[in-house]
Structure 1
């Protein structure tokens, strides 16, 4: 398996150069096409009879602002990608999250800046990473705050014998095959023979794909904090894990371990659901 198409989430506001540069580096590594996507939408107006004209003018102004920002993003994307990688540009007026999910079918991997950069809280101008990770059907690479860093020599896999973790292993195989050192860890206060059997099975599976991995068990109460702590202690370049969550009142809610990892912007993370 290899990544042949990478989808880049470019916020319409704020700095995007670091994540574009990261996307270019990944595209070169994997000989992949790079799709840049930026979007924003106009919030639905609250229309009152006496203010219809004012609301219409406001919508027109906001649309023009979005179109102007999209053109700026397109120019920056083209300038930073140059001619060294194959590219495609997608800029649109619409929901950033919805358009990313709709475009995910064209990509093997989605790359995004960390939450503190892309999550403005305004769903009309930035993607909801929770919805994106849990609904895109593609692995999502969430960059660290040092977004230009694309060393993947040392990789940490957070392992549970679940659908999400099994999916994450396969989805991240190109990164695992690049790594010089791979650690597969389980967080379990009461590790049993079954725990070790599962770990040994996944290590054996990875070896079939020319990935040499070591397995270990750590005993901690907080899964997410423990995985992040282990990753920091071993100076991991990348963590790979399943993403766990559920829908409640139209909002996607992450489990504690997934949320803790997502909030740790010191780490490059690949997450799959």
Structure 2
């Protein structure tokens, strides 16, 4: 099992070039086709005094936007450089979320940024929405990272559908790792059930010829995200694998949640699946 196609969002944010280099490196590692994708949303129509007013781009503006996307594509290919693997470019005059969500059907793995997004709402990409809509594993890349060598991987386990999906989606990375750790954050008194969960996960991975170096059950005074990030920093992990939005996104926004915490504070790349 491997990733045959790695797709990367190419944006106007400052971290875009580093993200492309990281995705290019993954393409080389997995001998995968690399696809760069971007979008530029037109101004939507709005209602005024009972009338629908459409200030969409004129023909001249549309041509200028298309040319700018073409220049972005040329820059993408320049960063990737010459190579033997296939490289594709996809650019559409539509909101980046819509473009990436539709293009996801052609990808095995999607690489997006995890840092602050541009103020331009017509060209920015909301990471949480991509996770919910892509139907593919999403690698979230912090701004400071431009390569991903998955030597140490932390699986942030919780017995949910999304976590199970992420575990399977991450198998190509897990086979590449030198050290795989599994951690479940449980409340005090829940250690026995958590240990049983982790034993099952460990045996499951062993059947895939993946040895788990450490299975950790923790419960502290901080949040689950705090504990996961603490372990990731202490172990200097390269990749965190987790389910994406096991609760509703509204629930995470109101009450907090691991996905929301990782989106904003993870020190390492995260593979998230919904």
**TM-score, length basis structure 1:** 0.88
Q: Is the 8 A contact 1:4 1:108 kept in 2?
A: yes
**Structure 2 counterpart of 1:138:** 136
**C-alpha RMSD over aligned residues:** 2.6
2: CA distance, partners of 1:247 / 1:122: 23
Change (3 A) 1:165 1:254: farther
Change (3 A) 1:129 1:75: same
**Structure 1 counterpart of 2:165:** 167
For residue 53 of structure 1, report the CA deviation from its aligned partner: 11
Counterpart pick for 1:180 among 178, 181, 201: 178
Q: Is the 8 A contact 2:12 2:118 kept in 1?
A: no
Trace 1:30-179 onto structure 2 (pairs within 5 A). Answer: 30-46=30-46, 55=55, 59-60=58-59, 62-84=61-83, 85-116=85-116, 119-179=117-177
**Structure 2 counterpart of 1:26:** 26
Q: Secondary structure at the match of 1:120?
A: coil
Q: Is the 8 A contact 1:168 1:242 kept in 2?
A: yes
Trace 1:197-212 onto structure 2 (pairs within 5 A). Answer: 197-212=196-211
1: CA distance, partners of 2:2 / 2:255: 28
**Structure 2 counterpart of 1:217:** 217
Count of residues in Structure 1 that have an aligned counterpart in Structure 2? 266
**TM-score, length basis structure 2:** 0.88
For residue 154 of structure 1, report the CA deviation from its aligned partner: 0.8
Q: Is the 8 A contact 1:133 1:243 kept in 2?
A: yes
Summarize deviations over 1:66-123 as a string: whole Å, max 9, x none: 223211111011112223131111011001101111111111100012232xx22544
Q: Which runs of 5+ in 1 are unaligned?
A: none
Q: Is the 8 A contact 1:157 1:182 kept in 2?
A: yes
